[in-house]
Structure 1
Amino acid sequence: MYTTSSAMLDAFVEAGISYIFANFGSDHPGLVEAIAEARANGRIIPEIVTCPNEMVGMSAAHGFWQASGVPQAVVVHVECGTQALAGAVHNAAKGRAPMLIFAGASPYTQNGEETGSRNEFIQWIQDVHDQRGIVRGYMKYDNEIRTGSNVKEIVHRALQLANSEPKGPVYLMGAREPMEQEAPQKVTDMTRWTAIQPNGLPAGGVEELAAALARAKHPLIVTSYVGRNPAAVEALVKLCETAGIGVLESVPMWHNFPHSNPLYLGNQWNEPRQNEALALADLVIVVDSDVPWIPVHSKPAPGALIYHIDVDPLKTQMPLFHIDALRSWQADATTALLQLEDRLSGMGLPPEAISERRAAWTSLHVKRHNEVRLLEAYPLDGQITPQFAVACVRELVDDETLFVTESISNYPTVYNHLALDRAGSIFASGGGSLGYNGGAAIGVKLAQPDKTVVAFTGDGSYMFSVPSAVHWMARRYQTPFLQIVFNNRGWKSPKLSALAVHPNGYAAKASTLDVTFDPPPDYAGIAAAAGGAFAASVTNPAELRSVIAAALKTVREEKRSAVVDIHIAHL
């Protein structure tokens, strides 16, 4: 029988979903049966990826979208599985990662009135008042499947919303009874379900910004996630080269601008100091950034003009947000940047003005580059530094390698010392819930199986990522990747946060802040036990390059994952 579950699977195929990252439960008999029926009869359905942990599965869907641009499906078990998605829900919402989550629901009949009626004790316990409410605050759309008559329309509406800017996850649920019911077979015209077309700047906005750029002495663009679209990176480079505009990344979650370009001025995170480029700029254009600066540490100069272009300039999910922009526009970055470049090209900016801008930004670029490279020096005291470690990785990978980072207190280190030039080469969660990196690396590898994938993680993030589930999945689905663990024996970020607020308080003098992992677990050994991974722990800088080379050889030639546990200075 062709059921609601069958129709939902067909809707997934129509929408281009290749994988269902699944954690099945007692609420999915209809879906499990529909999958088995489709396989038996040769009907095409998405590949099922069994995920022993829900957050790992959703993180894999997140990574797959980042590396492919195509949203995938996540299937979980009633409200328990929905809650077990945990921080991955936060990361997808804050990282604007589109995906479709489907959760079953406890049956709504109990005396055998319909197929799928309650027959297990747990179905009374797992029935809650508002299952969709668990995640509603993070979803672009949520709904319940009540009939097979319109299940395809519900799926396609959900994905249309997920794919329209600002993008994000969507959530559907369905009880056993409707998912078992017979449904009509329909073919969907997918040309009628496209995402909302992107907006550009209004004509007046283009003129105002172009005039401001023409007048400025030191124009600067600040961005965090323009790199979600490689075409936007190309447009940003073209505009900046045309007009001599500098680029500063603030909390970058993507690759936004070539690091070797002399107009690249680095990236800023939580550093408690004024950024030199931001202080110099007399015109700042914020393009696709949630946190362009942290005002208690660093902000534009008094009198600097600020303009804002973003897919979500109002930051509707942020109760507190203001950057004192003169104008804000909701616009697609690629479209807006091309509009500005076209207008400025037509204006014919004086070459001497562009040269002066380039000279000022190039001076800062070279100064920063030299400072960064000095930090990569071989550690003469025998203690491996994160900067040295990242430089070793950079020297041993090829130009097509893809990176995932959840290195937290070492976020700046990874971005600075990889020094990447290619759009779409590095991904972070976009959110603040730890545990994304392992699942995301699996998703990235599924999306681009011919690429080498390297994930950087702190030891705290490594444990949050549920490495036993991650490395079982990596072996089962042949998605090997290299995982670099920065092992400082604890959570450094909470310590840094406490000392930033209380630099001379009791915490600064305390012998412990209850954030250490001493003695540390055998991180690499966990991966070896769960997924047969290459496992190494390194404390001697003289051994690091050879160990990383062996790990990469294992990933590339043996198709096994590798974990290199690098002991850096104790937090």
Structure 2
Amino acid sequence: MTDEFKPKTTAEHLLWLLHEHGVEHLFLNPGTDSAPVQEAAAVLTDAGVPIPRIIPCTFESVGLAAAHGYWQVTGRPQCVFVHVDVGTQNLGAMMHNAFRDRAGVIVIAGKTPYGEDPESAGGRSHVIHWQQDVPDQAGVVRGYAKLTLEITRSEMLARGVGRAVQIARGGRPGPAYLMISRDVLMDPPADVPGRTSGYAIPGPAMAGRETALRIAGLLAGAERPLLITAKTGRRPEGFAAITRLADRTGIRVVDTPESGCLNIATSHPMRVGSPEAARRLVAEADLLVVADCDVPWIPKFVHPRGDAVVVQIDADPLRTDMPLWSFPADISVTGDGATVLDEVAALLPEVDLAAKWPGGTGETPAAPAAAEGPIAAREVVEALNAVLREDDILVEEMVTNAGALHAFVRRTRPGTLAGTGSPGLGWALGGAVGIKLASPDRRVIAVVGDGSFMFAVPTAALCLAAEAGAPTLTVVLNNDGYRASRLPVFELFPDGVSAARGDAVGTRFRAAPDLAALARACHAHGESVDDRAVLVPALERALSAVEAGRSAVVDVRIAPN
């Protein structure tokens, strides 16, 4: 706080505190409760007081996805401001994604004003101020937030914001949810400037030498060791630790399609690139090391050997947020995957990978068949390989076609593949904007299904990209329906009517929108492709538009399987 400026309202103090705690962006979906924050932003800007950059969002879930994407790149929580209970509800599945992907984000929601007298500053003045006074607003997100807290007095603000940032970032990161009514936001600040230090973030947890030596000994003696990981490679040091361990021990690495990140280079000989190979290796392994992974295998399809040793490493190895989680573990380590794997790797000498695997790893993809008929998902991935740079960031939400991406995409640098690994569809477009904000000098390309594209509120996402000055390319694999919802019908009823018809109720789009036209309506470059011969040129044109400052959408018609 400068000597020349002192905040006059709690809203002004809030923006100052957020900036002091390192929040660089506030994604705002305004409502009747945000007026004090909007005025505070104008006052502080005119006074030259630094505050987070405020980016307007036309739909709340897109703003939260963007904050989540920014976290993935930087590890720094950003803020989303939403309108009371209804704005909170519009966060929807993106709150689930942030929780499951361990994304440190801060959501601030308005609250129905308390005062109703004429002299009550910020008091109730609309019908909705009674309608939105619900018994448990925080209950909307309580199961998906590490912290829920209402700021009922200005004296609480400095502690509440500091605690929210600390909890969002620390330990196993996740969302923090604060509520504050507009009459409190208009109150004079009671605690100025308020403490902004003393909210230390715990460092990564280590295994300790004794446990690390035990794991290293198991690795040294294992004949068929297997590492299964989902999130460890999210940070560059995790990518490096996995690579180091693979180089030193010859351990095979299952980089799960649900990971939402690149855990090891796709060209590394120890990477397992297909779900089928992963299942086979789970069944054969005598040692399984599971790091930062919610679901290491699907018991319906595969089980480890009865004599296999399972080592589990996670910030919460008990998975207390999953009531029926019961995967076996012989050694359970409460620790940070990157830190523990690096501890273990440091205790081991390098091995000759060619000698350990004399027949090779057997993971080389088969040669592609002759191209004919509709464009296949694999061909889209190969076209992307032809146009992507090494430092481009690929954002993936392909659902049933994700296997093709993970099997055939070429990515060698940490941080060049992103996703949530969570089931809430519609993240990729907003997430790509946040990733672009965090990586302004790099190209960001989202690859999604047509269902994911529409779940993402594309008009709001494209608007956000334009408002934020963060253009991205979205490539849509368009099969005119919800294949992910069709396959379970065939799985559960293999001899049923739906399987015989090759269709399932509610999974085909009979009057789908023109996605390229939708993009153009939002001032983005848009084109449709149904001929493989023009796919690469179309992607090149779209990337040229992105480099010129416009977002782009390429709608690729693939086989309607």
- TM class by smaller structure: over 0.9
Deviation of residue 191 (structure 1)?
4.9
Larger mean CA deviation between 32-41 and 479-488 belongs to 32-41
Q: Report matched runs for 1:67-106 at 5 Å.
A: 67-106=73-112
- Residue pair 1:382, 1:541 contacting (<8 A) in 2 also: no
Alignment partner, residue 265 of structure 1: 272
Alignment partner, residue 4 of structure 2: none
Distance 1:484 1:396, change over 3 A: same
- Provide the secondary structure at the position in 2 that maps to 1:90: helix
- AA partner of residue 370 (structure 1): P
Deviation of residue 490 (structure 1)?
0.1
Alignment partner, residue 109 of structure 1: 115
Distance 1:229 1:533, change over 3 A: same
Deviation of residue 356 (structure 1)?
4.0
Which residue of the other structure, out of 311, 314, 318, is the alignment partner of 1:310? Answer: 314
- Residue pair 1:455, 1:482 contacting (<8 A) in 2 also: yes
| Alignment size in residue pairs | 553
**1:178 has 2:170 as partner:** no
Deviation of residue 495 (structure 1)?
1.0
- AA partner of residue 517 (structure 1): F
- Residue pair 2:75, 2:104 contacting (<8 A) in 1 also: no
Deviation of residue 415 (structure 1)?
2.1
Alignment partner, residue 3 of structure 2: none
- Residue pair 2:255, 2:262 contacting (<8 A) in 1 also: no
Q: Report matched runs for 1:9-408 at 5 Å.
A: 9-184=15-190, 186-187=192-193, 190-250=196-256, 251-268=258-275, 275-345=279-349, 356-359=355-358, 363-364=360-361, 367-371=362-366, 374-375=367-368, 377=369, 379=371, 381-408=372-399
Which residue of the other structure, out of 407, 418, 423, is the alignment partner of 1:427? Answer: 418
- AA partner of residue 368 (structure 1): E
Paired with 2:478 and 2:19, the residues of 1 have a C-alpha distance of 42
- AA partner of residue 290 (structure 2): V
Paired with 1:511 and 1:276, the residues of 2 have a C-alpha distance of 29
Paired with 1:344 and 1:113, the residues of 2 have a C-alpha distance of 72
Alignment partner, residue 569 of structure 1: 559
Deviation of residue 417 (structure 1)?
2.0
- Residue pair 1:52, 1:469 contacting (<8 A) in 2 also: yes
Structure 2 runs not aligned, ≥5 long: 1-6
Deviation of residue 314 (structure 1)?
1.2
Consecutive aligned runs of 4 or more in structure 1 exceeding 3 Å deviation = 184-191
Paired with 2:116 and 2:298, the residues of 1 have a C-alpha distance of 55
Q: Deviations over 1:300-356 (max 9, x none)?
A: 2332211101122111111221221111111011221121122224xxx8x57x654
Q: Deviations over 1:402-427 (max 9, x none)?
A: 11111101111122222211111111
- Provide the secondary structure at the position in 1 that maps to 2:396: strand
Paired with 1:212 and 1:28, the residues of 2 have a C-alpha distance of 57
- Residue pair 1:108, 1:175 contacting (<8 A) in 2 also: yes
Q: Deviations over 1:186-240 (max 9, x none)?
A: 4566552121222111333223212211211111111011112110110111122
Paired with 1:318 and 1:128, the residues of 2 have a C-alpha distance of 28
Alignment partner, residue 516 of structure 1: 508
Paired with 1:378 and 1:120, the residues of 2 have a C-alpha distance of 65
Deviation of residue 150 (structure 1)?
3.1
Alignment partner, residue 466 of structure 2: 475
**1:417 has 2:413 as partner:** no
- Provide the secondary structure at the position in 1 that maps to 2:325: coil
Distance 1:234 1:274, change over 3 A: closer
TM-score (normalizing by structure 1): 0.93
Identity of aligned residues (%): 34
- Residue pair 1:396, 1:549 contacting (<8 A) in 2 also: yes
- Residue pair 1:22, 1:48 contacting (<8 A) in 2 also: yes
Paired with 1:276 and 1:188, the residues of 2 have a C-alpha distance of 57
Distance 1:503 1:567, change over 3 A: same
Paired with 2:340 and 2:195, the residues of 1 have a C-alpha distance of 31
